[in-house]
Structure 1
Amino acid sequence: MSGGPAKTKRVVIIGMGDTGVLVASRLSRDFQVTGISTKPNLVSGQELGKRLADLNWWQRFYNTPLHRFKALSSVEIRHAKATSVDLDNQTVTVLDQSKLETRIPYDFLIIASGTSNGFWRDDSLRSEADIDAQLQSDARAISEARSIAIVGGGPCGVSSALNIQRAYPDKTVSLFISADLPLPGYHASARQYYHQELINVGVRLFTGHRAITPTPAPRAGTIHFESGQSAIADTIIWSTGDRKPHTDFLPNGLLDDEGFVKTRSTLEVEGRDNVFAIGDVASTDPARSSARNWAYGVLVHNLKRRAAGRAANKRYSPPANRWGSIVGPQDTGLTLHQDSGKTTRLSRWLVDKVLLPTVVQRVIYRGVKRLER
């Protein structure tokens, strides 16, 4: 028998990516939690460059079956896609891979459904085998290409260019950006640092090149630019930051003009005391930065207060600049860039032996079960 109080309130989380898992792991002790996920794994959107250039290493820490998270042991995971939300009756309708439609009731709803951004993030229903096949295919496209073009100077573009060039020094890797420096939104020192790092490693950096992005964007062939110029590559990685929010299932009244969820600084959805939003899908600030910066703690605190009949009183405050790891761990270690412009360097041993398995998996995610042999 359980020695704790009965869990009478039902929380439904739409989206079990990084943020959804973190929120669920903090609520599962006090609530009946159901997580709706289009994938049976947490397939992280982090460290794209390492995923493409060093897949075996990336899989160890960034592709984790949800059943391996210890803090999710009491969470009901539904491998399905949300198709509608009934705010008045407090239900979410989902469709699973067998086309079975189910309505799930909730007392509190958390929207953490994320965004599509390039080929590596989408809301397609996939099995574990589908995920593995896609990861292997993407990595193989890089290893077999002679020339690789990356379009977009954000962290995904910079990480892809630098990691691929370091892993495959004989390949021609080109990075096309519209500005004079990469990494808009980061401190000026971080932008200058990676501008020079890209050049040092051999990436062909083309500034002032704004690409015309067709739909669908080709994975190989010709890139056309607004200037009238063009470029050809065996493999093209589009990382232009054109995010599509996964919100088609939500009532229009919850969404802003771009389709993102209208979210207050308490991470409550505007006009709804029992609906929260977090991550890339939540319009908390222009950068929609609540996927990072410990925002999950704000949401958990405020939801618990609402469940106790009290007003939310913590607010999410976005940083002045983006921060964190940009290219992931290299042979020389991991460089972390703070929003103030300062940098911290961790050794590769510390990253692989302490930071990721202990601080991230054991402390932040509250434990990950070992792989069964």
Structure 2
Amino acid sequence: MNKKPTPRPTVVILGMGDTGVLVASRLNKRFRVIGVSTKTNLVSGQELGKRLADLPWWQTNYNTPLRQFKALAGVTLVHGKAEHLDISTNSVRIALSNGETESIDYDYLVIASGTSNGFWRTDTVQSASEIAADLSHQAQRVKAASSITVVGGGPTGVSVALNIKRADPSKKVSLCVSGTLPLPGYHSNARAFYQQALSDAGVDLLCQDRVVAVDEKQLSGSVKFASGASISSDAIIWTIGNRKAHTDFLPEHLLDEDRFVKTLPTLEVQGTENIFAIGDVASTDPERSSARNWAYGVLVHNLRRKAKGKPANKAYVPPANRWGSIVGPQENGLTLHQADGKRIRLSKRLVDTVLLPMIVRRFIYRGVKPDH
């Protein structure tokens, strides 16, 4: 007598950015996976500087239709936005891109809905054509400006200022940093390295003076500092790290005081048995660093154990300092900064022929089909 096949547990992933795609690609064979995404593409929040200074290159590597990921074959992709989570019924209501709503049941839920942070990270529901128009508009705004003020000295601000200046040295580029050095949270060696790189490129580094009257909708004109000084430019780019978690659809008891998801070291959501959180939305540490550092492997391991009736037993351990690429590939190669302050330089040829096509697309993302 033939036995009926046991139905695979359903995993719903809310958010198909970098982290959501990586989780889905590792669960696809053992679970029925449903990925909910506000975008039809994986529009990465990484490398904003390259995105604004060299959009064609960035498009090739960081704007990928979800249907092109080979490891997502069999994953049900839902284009919409989470509207309400009902823990009592293990279901989530989705506002679909066509204006309708759909309720999706799950056995396990992964919250990877991310955060809004400036114009480059949003939860706006967009089609491929709307994504392309938005990318082009922002790049053209930078290209048309002869003077640019970048407000915020984190990795995004440093990347934007340095990439724009190197792409067009004729532009006047100023980077406003409230502290003594850019890149808070990084090792002192990395901070000193980019202070020198910015200076060598000709970026005006304005330190130890905080911008007052912050208005992220202001795209040009003057910004004023606490000292009374001011600066005017054709374009203003705000990279102040003012993140808003995409968690309005979640019950209040799952959120911390800043509305990020309360998350255990196992990446399980506090107070739940079958919900996980990962990425910028997960309150794992002050930097919410599970968006990086291979945390998706921890989540996948623990979710698989839970599905077998075993407790989660692997913990995500945040690094002491931030690490990795800060400004992306340059003409002289890619510089990777380690948490201990050491740095590694990969040649441009190695990046173009091995790192991006082989390690990133083939190994990490498990294959990307060409766009026909």
Q: Aligning the two structures, in what range does the TM-score lie when normalised by the shorter sequence?
A: over 0.9
User: Considering only aligned residues, what root-mean-square deviation do their CA atoms show, in Å?
Assistant: 1.1
Aligned partners of 1:223 and 1:52: how far apart in 2?
21
* Aligned position for 2:327: 327
Which amino acid letter does the alignment assign opposite residue 272 of structure 2?
A: R
Cα drift, residue 342 of structure 1? 0.6
Cα drift, residue 222 of structure 1? 1.8
Cα drift, residue 272 of structure 1? 0.6
**Equivalent runs, 1:226-237 vs 2, <5 Å:** 226-237=226-237
* Aligned position for 2:354: 354
Cα drift, residue 216 of structure 1? 4.7
* Aligned position for 2:28: 28
**Equivalent runs, 1:280-359 vs 2, <5 Å:** 280-359=280-359
SS in 1 for 2:345: strand
SS in 2 for 1:317: coil
Please report the TM-score for the alignment, with normalisation by the length of structure 2.
0.98
Kept in 2: contact 1:7–1:30 (CA 8 A): no
* Aligned position for 1:132: 132
Cα drift, residue 280 of structure 1? 0.4
Which amino acid letter does the alignment assign opposite residue 62 of structure 1?
A: Y
* Aligned position for 1:109: 109
For structure 2, the 5+ residue unaligned runs are: none
For structure 1, the 5+ residue unaligned runs are: none
Cα drift, residue 229 of structure 1? 2.5
**Equivalent runs, 1:129-168 vs 2, <5 Å:** 129-168=129-168
Aligned partners of 1:213 and 1:189: how far apart in 2?
32
Q: 1:132 to 1:187 in 2, by over 3 A?
A: same
Aligned partners of 2:109 and 2:219: how far apart in 1?
37
Kept in 1: contact 2:115–2:244 (CA 8 A): yes
* Aligned position for 2:49: 49
Kept in 1: contact 2:333–2:348 (CA 8 A): yes
Kept in 2: contact 1:53–1:139 (CA 8 A): yes
Aligned partners of 1:266 and 1:346: how far apart in 2?
33
Kept in 2: contact 1:118–1:239 (CA 8 A): yes
Kept in 1: contact 2:321–2:339 (CA 8 A): yes
SS in 2 for 1:88: helix
* Aligned position for 1:58: 58
SS in 2 for 1:118: coil
Cα drift, residue 160 of structure 1? 0.3
**Equivalent runs, 1:69-218 vs 2, <5 Å:** 69-218=69-218
Cα drift, residue 215 of structure 1? 4.5
Kept in 2: contact 1:123–1:246 (CA 8 A): yes
Kept in 1: contact 2:118–2:216 (CA 8 A): no
SS in 1 for 2:130: helix
* Aligned position for 1:363: 363
Cα drift, residue 233 of structure 1? 1.1
Which amino acid letter does the alignment assign opposite residue 204 of structure 2?
A: R
1:133-158 superposed Cα distances (whole Å, 9 cap, x missing partner): 01001110111001000000000000
* Aligned position for 1:246: 246
Aligned partners of 1:341 and 1:191: how far apart in 2?
9
Q: 1:348 to 1:7 in 2, by over 3 A?
A: farther
Aligned partners of 1:340 and 1:7: how far apart in 2?
47
Please report the TM-score for the alignment, with normalisation by the length of structure 1.
0.97
Kept in 2: contact 1:261–1:283 (CA 8 A): yes
Aligned partners of 2:328 and 2:264: how far apart in 1?
32
SS in 2 for 1:109: strand
Aligned partners of 2:311 and 2:75: how far apart in 1?
26
Aligned partners of 1:289 and 1:281: how far apart in 2?
10
Which amino acid letter does the alignment assign opposite residue 144 of structure 2?
A: E
Q: 1:211 to 1:7 in 2, by over 3 A?
A: farther
Q: 1:283 to 1:79 in 2, by over 3 A?
A: same
Which amino acid letter does the alignment assign opposite residue 229 of structure 1?
A: A
The 10-residue stretch of structure 1 (31-40 or 205-214) with the greater mean CA deviation from structure 2 = 205-214
Aligned partners of 2:215 and 2:12: how far apart in 1?
34
Cα drift, residue 193 of structure 1? 0.2
Kept in 1: contact 2:216–2:238 (CA 8 A): no
Aligned partners of 1:362 and 1:117: how far apart in 2?
29
Identity across matched positions, percent: 60
